[in-house]
Structure 1
């Protein structure tokens, strides 16, 4: 059976075309009927994935080519979701590494390639987006191939791995070729397809290795069905399983002690295209789903008897950031969503951490506050947005960097490799901004068309809150990506935010007349007619200290006749703060209040007479 199986994953940096390529793999393999309407990026099934245009969760699908079933795993490309990539690598024997023909290898390319090389996967290099105008000039494709080869060598690839096959593709047009001389004809309209990729997977990637012995399966992902409940997704290492079999889940409890749970398989499913179909039997080498487990965690091993050893648990790199989640204690609590109690908030956060092994849960000294440890601000923003869409109200604090200590007691902090693509005229301003945050430039590269690529080594603290400022400095034309590279001695204090906050000094509703005078003191975050309360932040102060203001003050009526322009209020513009911008902006003494309808900023201490206004 395993000889007619191939398990591959598609890995790349964000926006290099993984999900689009999978769309055409499914279409050309006959997964959809001719008359069937199919959306673009069909693998991005979450609303948040479609809205943001990124892959957040790793997903399984399959195609059948001849007599061979190819299980395909689409993985996220953003560094914050690297844990998704790490935990599914063990299900694959091969990987298709997509690299943008114009951008070349970027930080996440390095990250995912390193994981694939360590797993010993057979890697196919696919140079995607060869239709981009900047690629057709000069020898850019060969430069990208040489950069990829250098990356293989730098990451310690074996001689067999560095002898990788190369494909040239245009994912959005659904064709690829192994002959670069064919590219001009294909770009001019010659009919092409993805058959060279299918053939290469069948010839180059090995069938999954299987072990002798009873059934054994490693859970690498989780799924849920309203009909059968919790399901574990993984690859079968040995034996086979049928509906009704009694199996044992080898897991660990919260303290890390081994726990065995006996259960009966209620359903056995396999992937067929985008569907999960019930099958009579799941055999060694295949990837499938088991239902009937009341409690299952990623990394558990499912075995047929207690004498079998558990497979090594899935281990991902340690988190570098932490964020406090708290129940909503604001005056407007419960008016726009469900003001959850601490128990329900704790249960929800624990459930999310079970599905995502890159996140960790910690208790705090406060019974109504919990700390989540993760990789980056975007990962936290996705968790917050998912909880908001479930109708929950809660508060979150500023992300905090997780420090370590060496054997001598010296404090160490995480450092990242930051890669920036931007127009050359903005390089001076961007370089100065990063150097004030302890960044050290390691590379300056001219990539053509008036654009440059800068590489910095910078503490994780220096990246927090920098994305929006970088976008502003480059007029929205810059691209930023980063990769965690290790820990270094603490580099000293950093200034996070120079400006103070404009804080409402009373409860009420914002009045245009009051906001007109307040806007002279700084930048407003709220429109007229918005409910505010004492301690709620309504804007950014122009000075370096907090300022209490009355946003509810109405104009006093008099007996004097007003002029024609009197009463006409002109607001200069309100900065609408997104969730990510709020996470970047807040300080340690501030909360973000998240509800299904609103994102508010507030001080942790609401009464103004108890707060220190100096920064």
Structure 2
């Protein structure tokens, strides 16, 4: 038996969950179609998903197409839940990208297709809702070719000349062969060549239909079975798997969704996990619409494992990992979460910590002084989901502060500082010297040594490195510092001292704690000397509006500090693109209808960071404030 791990992706409301229902119904898994509006679909199982009619969590369901077992992963379409999509992409063999025959190519469609192409994931496109008023499949096909990829071919019905034209543009050798002897391109040869180009992420078949009526579904199923690359299930090779989803069972136990890329797993197996190991206590696999217990699982399958203390992104086994780099933008919004009942501050923090296991991009910042916990977000809908989840699953009612934008800091120059052991005002038994300088964009935090690795115990050097990375989460202005190089220039310590009978004397001996506590003071002094610049998140925008409203739209963009790059006018429609501060996108979306008689539309996507104009915004600190030496020492020494 072969397995295909298939993702269903789309812009919100394009109909991907309805398509999932139709595929399950056609496969005989369900006897009656569920409805998104009625909250009766198979994959939207959360109460909030059923209530709002949107997908929030990726869900897995299995069905058979011919001799292929399809593990279908239904992903969210709303951009607030793009993290769920990112994790699913790491385990896919292929994908179906769904578009609406009415709305056509939308903002999220572009983001998803760009990412799928970059990863080389084989893709079939399905233009849904051809039965709806306003549907224009021909226009949407032209949009796909113009805005997503020109390497498309319509598959309803399949016309050999169209397939040959596409293959000829992709492969000069095939073009030469066709011109020499066109008779060799039989239907089977064309199918084989198209299948190869689809598998290589070079060709994109486009299907048309309706998930509601079932039109075009048989053709799409044929494409899933015959054009997308399925894998033979085999236990060969070393164990290698990736955790792409974590949830909690009825008893609070962790359940890990794992895609196995090689090897096999059985109940009671001990699994290498980073520096440790875990023991699998139960395995479930997806089979014909159900989740069934199994004694083992082999490569190619997706399984739900119990007994492992893992996080999303963890690699199981000693084989090569298959985790992918971050694919989409980081969250750019932040809000403070407060319990309605003050006595629940502790349980709230624990609940939020558990939620980060299921969604690592919900970043937490806990301020012990103010007893406040902040979470990072993609949007307002995600805030509602967190609020409902805390109430339904943990019984904790919460409120949120006004959402603010998450900025970052970048190092402006070079700065250095050093504190010597035994020399005032250094109260710690450690010498630490650090130099900080800018790194290249996207390089992250680099820690380097100008001291000999053997000059002191490695645990002390590691304590400095860990403290550096922790401290840089809050720079001079309180924002995370990105892309810099920190070099350790000085080191020193007191060796272990003992009294008679081998009693350890901590007051005369350096410990890792001395280095952890001293490093923030040294690093922040170096950062202040180097200087940092606060950058705000920017979105790239494409805005279409009636040409006669260009004046009011331009004024609206200027008020929002947007920077238009190009303006094109085609007939009665004008199109602008440029950059806009992420903090202003919601405001523009709200004001755009009144400025354009309701006809304007704007697509936005994260486009990096830009220095803030004017006074640099700051954020309250949660790190005992190493910028204030007296305050920092009082808190740290009291804690020690």
Asked whether the two chains share a fold, i.e. TM above 0.5, the reply is: yes
TM-aligned CA deviation for residue 134 of structure 1:
3.4
Deviation at 1:35, TM superposition (A): 11
Q: Report the Cα distance in structure 1 between the residues aligned to 2:47 and 2:595, rounded to whole angstroms.
A: 31
1:300 corresponds to which residue? 314
1:168 paired residue number: 208
- Quick one: distance in 2 between partners of 1:212 and 1:479? 52
Shift of 1:219: 0.6
2:268 aligned residue: 244
Distance change (3 Å), C-alpha of 1:377 and 1:419? farther
SS in structure 1 of the partner of residue 204 of structure 2: coil
- Would you say the 8 A contact 2:240–2:320 is kept in 1? no
**CA spacing shift, 1:427–1:25, aligned 2, 3 Å:** farther
Instruction: Give me the CA root mean square deviation.
Output: 3.7
* 2:560 pairs with 1:437: yes
Q: Does 1:392 align with 2:418?
A: no
Mapped to 2, the partners of 1:270 and 1:317 lie a distance apart of: 29
Residue segments in structure 2 that go unaligned for 5+ positions in a row: 153-169, 172-196, 414-531, 621-640
What is residue 83 of structure 1 aligned with on the other side? 83
Question: Do the aligned partners of 1:430 and 1:470 also contact (CA within 8 Å) in 2?
Answer: yes
Deviation at 1:299, TM superposition (A): 1.1
Q: CA deviation at 1:317?
A: 4.4
Q: Which has the higher helix share?
A: 2
Partner of 1:486: 608
Q: Aligned equivalents of 1:126 and 1:418: distance in 2?
A: 26
SS in 1 for 2:608: strand
Are 1:319 and 2:335 counterparts? Answer: no
In the TM superposition, residue 235 of structure 1 has moved relative to its aligned partner by: 0.7
Taking a change above 3 Å as real, the CA distance of residues 115 and 35 of structure 1, as seen in their structure-2 partners, is: closer
Per the alignment, residue 196 of structure 1 pairs with: 219
Whole-angstrom CA distance in 1 between matches of 2:348 and 2:552: 42
Q: Structure 1 residues 397 and 228, CA, compared in 2 at 3 Å: closer, same or farther?
A: closer
Report the CA distance shift for 1:89/1:431 in structure 2 as closer, same or farther (over 3 A). Answer: same
435-444 or 343-352, which moves further after superposition? Answer: 435-444
| Alpha-carbon distance, 1:75 to partner | 1.2
Matches within 5 A, 1:40-439: 40-136=40-136, 139-150=139-150, 160-176=200-216, 194-208=217-231, 212-226=236-250, 229-250=253-274, 259-263=275-279, 265-293=280-308, 295-303=309-317, 312=323, 315=326, 317=328, 319-328=330-339, 334=341, 339-364=342-367, 366-389=369-392, 390-405=395-410, 409-420=532-543, 429-439=552-562
> Is contact 2:39–2:49 with CA below 8 Å preserved after alignment?
no
1:319/1:373 contact within 8 Å kept: no
| Native 8 Å contact 1:268 1:289 kept in 2 | yes
SS at match of 2:115: helix
Q: Which residues of structure 1 form unaligned runs of 5+?
A: 177-193, 251-258, 496-587, 590-615
CA contact (8 A) 1:342 1:367 kept: no
Q: Note the C-alpha offset of 1:120.
A: 1.9
SS of 1:61's partner is strand
Deviation at 1:480, TM superposition (A): 5.0
Q: Offset of 1:420 from its aligned partner?
A: 5.0
Give 3-state SS (helix, strand or coil) of 2:375's partner: strand
The TM-score normalised by the length of structure 1 is 0.65
- Whole-angstrom CA distance in 1 between matches of 2:288 and 2:311: 25
Deviation sequence 1:21-55 (CA, Å, 0-9, x none): 11101111100136999965432222222333322
Question: Which deviations, in whole Å up to 9, do the C-alpha atoms of 1:436-491 show, x marking residues without a partner?
Answer: 0012345667899x987654521112124444444666677765542112223334
In 1, are the aligned partners of 2:34 and 2:42 still within 8 Å (CA)? no
Once residues 40 and 584 of structure 2 are traced to their aligned partners in structure 1, the CA distance between those partners, rounded to angstroms, is 37
Partners of 1:270 and 1:282 within 8 A in 2: yes
Which range moves more in the overlay, 341-350 or 415-424?
A: 415-424
